[in-house]
Amino acid sequence: MNIPKLTVSGRGGEVSAQAPALRLLACGAAGAGKSTLTGRLLQDRGAASFDPSAGEQGLAASRSFSTERRSFLIADAPGGHRQSSELARAAANSDLAILVIDARTGVVEQALRHLAIVAMLGVRHVVLAVNKMDLADYSETVFNAVVADFTDHASGMGFHTLAAIPMSAFSGADVGSPSTLMPWRHGPSLLDYLETVEIVDDAAEASLRFPIEELDSSSPDRLGFSGVVTSGRVRVGDEICVADSGKTAHVARILGARGDVDSARADEAVTLLFDAKVEASRGDMICHVADRPAVVEQFAAHLLWTGEEKLLPGRSYLIVLNGRTVPASVTEIKYRLNFENHQQMAAKTLQADEIGFCNLAAAQPLSVDPFEHFRKTGAFQLLDRATDAVVAIGTIAFPLRRASNVHLQAMSVTKEVRAGLKGQKPAVLWFTGLSGSGKSTIANLVEVRLASQNAHTIALDGDNLRHGLNRDLGFTDADRVENIRRVGEVSKLMADAGLIVLCSFISPFEAERRMVRELLGPGEFVEIFVDTPLETCIQRDRKGLYKRALAGEIKNFTGVTQPYERPDNAEIVLTLDDGPAEAMADRIVAYLRASGIVVSA
């Protein structure tokens, strides 16, 4: 897509002051003058007080002001590194971005990062505010050089309108009114341009999307649901359906803030009452029958990573999409975006403030809309499962549909039948701990004891699997996550066969151990933490691994150069106080008997 021609033209058509406020976002590198510019606009218009330091404190502070022609809401996004989450949240609710550039330094990397983020979050109108022209002698040459550089970078980013305006926020030149200090320029001031720029709201013309927020408490038969129309329009008599289930009904009534209405459009909060009972819950999507979104478990998306820890494909996070929260993981990173040249770079992970294009998989089907056409329902967040902190903001590109001939096959012989034939219950005994803690030794002793009692078992050991199934994996964080993901899936299959599976893996990350636990049924995952002190593990270093790791010869070695996340809620914790390995094995077998996993003599 070619970039729209940069415009510095004069006034457009008249805009009603009663129209919805134009939502502005001031962004750009730290020190470019965003807060000064925002403060100037507010001061000149007699707006409410504005804290110019808010942007430096990592807050996207918002203030309102108005003119005779238009009302505005402006957010001043922080410009520093590791503050992209605040910028993204502000961009997601903005109509137009004012990218503030210091005329002396030009288009720096952080400004390009902000430009990429606002493009990703659906802002399609940009003003290039070339600020501090007073410190560049109001030079036309300087201004033209900045505009040319910006044009090269903005090309192909999907913006609908672009305008370049030279100014001095400090002196007010070309901010609130045209200045005589730049006689070579004949275009409007920033405020003149903002008063007349045309912003088309596509939400009103899009297909109906109504994410359910609450069940109607006055409707015990579940004939109604409350929420906000995010796009399109719904009318009394319309045939609608629940996207997730396909169940249909007709709209019998629409209750607005002041009672019954005939219809509701985008951004209106209403309760929809139907002529038939519809089973649905919070997060389900109401739509018209002919315009259902895709309901899939996998989709491709642009992802802005904001977490302090890097993104690890395969790790389980929580996705928050249209009021629904379910486990999800990034299955593949297609590329990482280079902000300076917009090239797509190969990547195995994402660091803070980086944007990547990824495939994701959710634990259950979700209603998926492409963000390009559904800005509100096509965006989501990823949360860290341990802290609930937002680690990523994403925009959906398209669903990833499985082949129509690939589906789960129902089996007549179930896991319970297979386990019953063996006289036991299926389980995965997950031994975790540092290298040298004794995991494999104890697991081997447990299996010997179980075999003597006619139990049916299989042992999976980390070193053994790295000679076969996982021979292509190294020891980076990403490879360790994939290692455990594969082992978890294999363990689940073996538990489905009715076996007692003994897994001995360092498995240093709590998130991956939780992921395996969630693959299994209640009581089937038994976490056994072999809590041996690091000093003792080093003393037992029969393979010489710790010695080499301490000497810097082995990288990413758990306990030395890589952390180990201790389990907080393991079913069994073994310490040196429990005696020798034989005594530890006896304790585990006793637990299995008490739990009913081993039921045969």
pLDDT (average), residues 352-368: 92
Strongest mean pLDDT among 44-48, 406-410, 516-520: 516-520
Does residue 222 lie in a domain region? yes
| In-domain check, residue 7 | no
Distances (CA, A) of 95 to 29, 227, 375, 496, 566: 20, 23, 11, 52, 46
Same domain for 589 and 442, yes or no, is: yes
> What is the tens place of the pLDDT at every residue in 91-122?
988 999 999 999 999 999 999 999 999 999 99
Cα 55 to Cα 30: distance, rounded to the nearest angstrom: 9
Boundary (domain end) residue, out of 347, 374, 399: 399
Give the Cα separation of 263 and 256 in Å (integer). Answer: 9
pLDDT tens digits, one per residue of 137-183: 999 999 999 999 999 999 888 899 999 999 999 999 999 888 899 99
- Residue at which a domain ends, from 370, 399, 428: 399
Collapsed DSSP state (helix, strand, coil) of residue 444: helix
Q: How confident is the model at residue 224 (pLDDT cuts 50, 70, 90)?
A: confident
Nearest to 256 by CA among 267, 245, 247: 267
326 and 287 inside one domain: no
The verdict on residue 278 lying in a domain is yes
- pLDDT interval class at 600 (50, 70, 90): low
* Residues in a beta bridge with 256: 259
The per-residue pLDDT for range 263-302, each reduced to its tens digit, is 999 889 999 999 888 888 888 999 999 888 999 999 999 9
pLDDT score of 253: 92
The predicted model gives 366-393 an average pLDDT of 92
Q: Which residues contact 535 (CB under 8 A, 6 or more apart)?
A: none
Q: How far is CA 68 from CA 45, 71, 216, in A?
A: 10, 8, 42
**Position 237 pLDDT exceeds 50:** yes
How crowded is residue 150: how many other Cβ atoms within 10 Å of its Cβ? 24
398-412: per-residue pLDDT in tens?
A: 998 764 444 456 677
3-state class (DSSP) for residue 85: helix
CB count within 10 Å of CB 596 equals 11
User: Can you say whether residue 28 is alpha, beta or left, with left for phi > 0 and alpha for psi between -120 and 50 degrees?
Assistant: left
- In a shared domain, residues 149 and 67: yes
Least confident of 34-48, 321-335, 546-560: 34-48
Q: Are residues 27 and 149 in the same domain?
A: yes
Residue 374's contacts (CB-CB under 8 Å, 6 or more residues apart) are 206, 207, 209, 230, 231, 293
Indicate the pTM of the whole model: 0.75
CA gap 449, 507 in Å, rounded: 25
* Phi–psi pair at 270, nearest 5 degrees: -145, 170
Name, in order, each residue with C-beta under 8 angstroms of 416's C-beta and a sequence gap of 6 or more.
none
Least confident of 388-392, 421-425, 448-452, 456-460: 421-425
Q: Domain span at residue 343?
A: 294-399
Residue 42 C-beta-side C-alpha neighbours within 13 Å: 22
The sign of the dihedral angle between the CA atoms of 487, 492, 498, 502 is positive
Query: Is 86 part of a structural domain of the chain?
Result: yes
pLDDT score of 405: 45
Contact 208, 380 (CB under 8 A): no
Final residue before a domain boundary, out of 375, 399, 423: 399
Does a structural domain hold residue 15? no
Q: Averaged over 469-478, what is the pLDDT?
A: 79
Residues 26 and 111 in one domain: yes
Question: The tokens of 283 are what?
Answer: 């997060």
Q: Answer yes or no: is 404 within a domain.
A: no
DSSP-assigned letter for residue 58 = T
Domain identity same for 423 and 496: yes
**Domain identity same for 266 and 230:** yes
Least Cα distance to 107 among 87, 130, 73 occurs for: 130
Rounded to 5°, angle at Cα 531 from 527 and 533: 160
Q: Given the structure tokens 């299959």, which residue do they identify?
A: 493
* In the chain, % of residues over pLDDT 90: 55
The percent of residues in the chain predicted with pLDDT above 70, rounded, is 90
Domain tally for the chain? 4
The overall average pLDDT reported for the chain is 86
Backbone angles phi, psi at 500, to 5 degrees: -95, 115
Report which of residues 257 and 587 the model is more confident about: 587
Identify the band that residue 383 occupies on the pLDDT scale cut at 50, 70 and 90: very high
Q: Is residue 252 part of a domain?
A: yes
Same domain as 215, residue 118:
no
The first and second tokens of residue 404, run together, are 């129509």
Are both 247 and 342 inside the same structural domain?
no
What average pLDDT does range 232-240 have in this prediction?
94
Q: Is residue 566 part of a domain?
A: yes
Q: Do both 448 and 333 map to the same domain?
A: no
What's the confidence (pLDDT) of residue 318? 94
CB atoms within 10 A of CB 159: 19
**Residue 35 in contact with residue 108, Cβ under 8 Å?**
no
**For 316-340, what is the mean pLDDT?**
92
Query: Residues 281, 353: one domain?
Result: no
* Mean pLDDT, rounded, for 236-258: 91
Whichever domain contains 389, its CATH number is 2.40.30.10
Indicate if the pLDDT at residue 432 is higher than 50: yes
Instruction: State whether 465 and 569 are in the same domain.
Output: yes
User: Which CATH number do you get for residue 419?
Assistant: 3.40.50.300
Whether 61 has a pLDDT exceeding 70, the answer reads no
Read off the pLDDT of each residue in 569-594 and give the average, rounded to a whole number: 94
